[in-house]
């Protein structure tokens, strides 16, 4: 079916557009308001003139006054030329303008090729100085060296304790406990912390000291001193000192060591020495090795050192006098002065009690232990 008949069938008002109508729309949409006339160079021949100069300039768009605009008058382009000629003129002007722009545009020059010079290798000078080591690495190495020395020293002391006969141990246990029970600084103390000795660990026996403090029968009046004994909470050096009133308050832990139960017979929490309202006068401490300058070597867990630092800070905050730190030691556990390596977390002791007697070390011990 022809296009005209198909369009009229679909739309009765359909009119097939002609080529001049299409060009009119194209020219009216793309025509600028003013044409710029390009003047040819003076030396150019007449044949090199552009199409705009051959055809002549287009007229300027007519101006319309404001009053004419109010009456609905709109400017129109002059139509003395046909639409085809106007379209061809527009194309010629565009091509001529593009050619002039390309002719006048200066292309950048290519950069010269870079030249390379061969550089000779710089000889490296050998340094005679030792390489620098960071401070953190030095501290780590020093701490590891101290830990290794302590480990070797503990093994040596354990061998010496194993070689100690049971009779000699019993003799020294009796002498040490008698010295403490007969001392004035023990009798004058009202509150003290003491460890419960373990025979398998080869610690100095404290059973007579604990029996002297606690009443023999539960509920019996006459207990003068408050006794706090250690209880290990976890493996992160957390230890508590809980108050007990009888030996029945002690239970065996996983290592078969007697410790206080966290609650008493009535189901109440036991009093913690860190929460007590009154200061502690005396600490009786165990250890693996000691010297006469106040150095103490523990078993490597760090429980006592951590707890003692906490309590000393608490006493300082509350304005209490610092407790007397007394260690109980066999004769084979006393080493030469300065032979025990220490670090910043080791708490020194104030005095030593051995089978030979009392060895005061700190100024407070010299003052309180005549």
Residue 169 sits at φ, ψ, to 5 deg, of -60, -45
* Residue 21 located in a structural domain: no
pLDDT of residue 93: 73
* Residue 95 located in a structural domain: no
Q: Tell which wins on pLDDT, 270 or 224.
A: 270
Report how far residue 198's alpha carbon sits from residue 207's, in angstroms, rounded to the nearest whole number: 10
* Residue 61 located in a structural domain: no
pLDDT of residue 236: 85
* Residue 146 located in a structural domain: yes
CATH number assigned to the domain comprising residue 266: 3.40.50.10420
Cβ–Cβ < 8 Å for 305, 298? yes
**22 pLDDT more than 50:** no
* Residue 24 located in a structural domain: no
Q: Average pLDDT in the 181-206 region?
A: 95
pLDDT of residue 231: 94
- Nearest CA to 49 among 35, 61, 38? 38
pLDDT of residue 243: 96
> pLDDT tens digit string along 92-149?
777 666 665 555 555 555 556 555 455 455 455 454 445 555 666 657 888 889 999 9
pLDDT of residue 75: 57
| Sign, CA torsion 156/158/161/166 | negative
Question: For residues 121, 123, 129 and 131, what is the CA-based torsion angle, rounded to 10 degrees?
Answer: 20
* Residue 336 located in a structural domain: yes
Number of domains in the chain: 1
pLDDT of residue 197: 95
Contacts for 200 with CB less than 8 Å, ≥ 6 apart: 256
pLDDT of residue 32: 47
Q: Average pLDDT over the chain, rounded to whole?
A: 78
Contacts for 220 with CB less than 8 Å, ≥ 6 apart: none
**2 pLDDT more than 60:** no
> pLDDT tens digit string along 263-300?
988 889 999 999 999 999 999 999 999 999 999 999 99
* Residue 7 located in a structural domain: no
Specify the pTM. 0.63
* Residue 67 located in a structural domain: no
Residue 250 lies in domain:
138-368
Q: Tell which wins on pLDDT, 30 or 297.
A: 297
Grade residue 36 by pLDDT with cuts at 50, 70 and 90: very low
Q: Tell which wins on pLDDT, 301 or 117.
A: 301
pLDDT above 90: percentage of residues in the chain: 51
């Amino acid at each position: 079916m022809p296009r005209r008949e198909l369009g009229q069938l679909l739309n009765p008002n359909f009119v097939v557009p002609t080529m001049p109508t299409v060009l009119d729309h194209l020219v009216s949409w793309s025509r600028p308001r003013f044409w710029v006339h390009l003047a040819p160079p003076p030396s150019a021949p007449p044949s090199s003139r552009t199409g705009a100069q051959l055809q002549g300039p287009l007229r300027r768009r007519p101006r319309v006054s404001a009053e004419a605009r109010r009456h609905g008058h709109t400017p129109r382009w002059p139509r003395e030329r046909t639409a085809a000629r106007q379209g061809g003129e527009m194309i010629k002007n565009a091509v001529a303008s593009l050619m002039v722009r390309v002719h006048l545009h200066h292309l950048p020059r290519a950069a010269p090729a870079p030249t390379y010079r061969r550089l000779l290798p710089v000889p490296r000078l050998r340094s005679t100085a030792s390489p620098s080591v960071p401070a953190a690495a030095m501290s780590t190495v020093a701490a590891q060296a101290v830990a290794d020395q302590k480990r070797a020293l503990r093994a040596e002391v354990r061998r010496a304790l194993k070689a100690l006969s049971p009779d000699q141990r019993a003799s020294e246990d009796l002498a040490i406990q008698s010295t403490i029970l007969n001392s004035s600084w023990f009798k004058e103390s009202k509150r003290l912390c003491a460890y419960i000795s373990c025979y398998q660990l080869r610690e100095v026996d404290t059973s007579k000291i604990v029996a002297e403090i606690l009443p023999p029968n539960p509920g019996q009046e006459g207990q003068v001193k408050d006794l706090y004994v250690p209880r290990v909470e976890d493996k992160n050096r957390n230890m508590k000192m809980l108050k007990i009133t009888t030996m029945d308050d002690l239970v065996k832990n996983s290592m078969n060591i007697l410790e206080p139960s966290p609650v008493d017979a009535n189901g109440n929490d036991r009093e913690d020495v860190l929460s007590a309202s009154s200061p502690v006068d005396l600490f009786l401490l165990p250890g693996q090795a000691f010297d006469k300058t106040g150095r103490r070597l523990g078993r490597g867990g760090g429980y006592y050192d951590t707890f003692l630092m906490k309590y000393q800070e608490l006493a300082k905050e509350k304005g209490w006098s610092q407790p007397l730190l007394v260690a109980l030691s066999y004769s084979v556990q006393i080493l030469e002065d300065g032979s025990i390596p220490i670090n910043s977390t080791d708490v020194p002791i104030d005095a030593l009690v051995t089978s030979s007697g009392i060895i005061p070390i700190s100024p407070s011990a010299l003052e309180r232990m005549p």
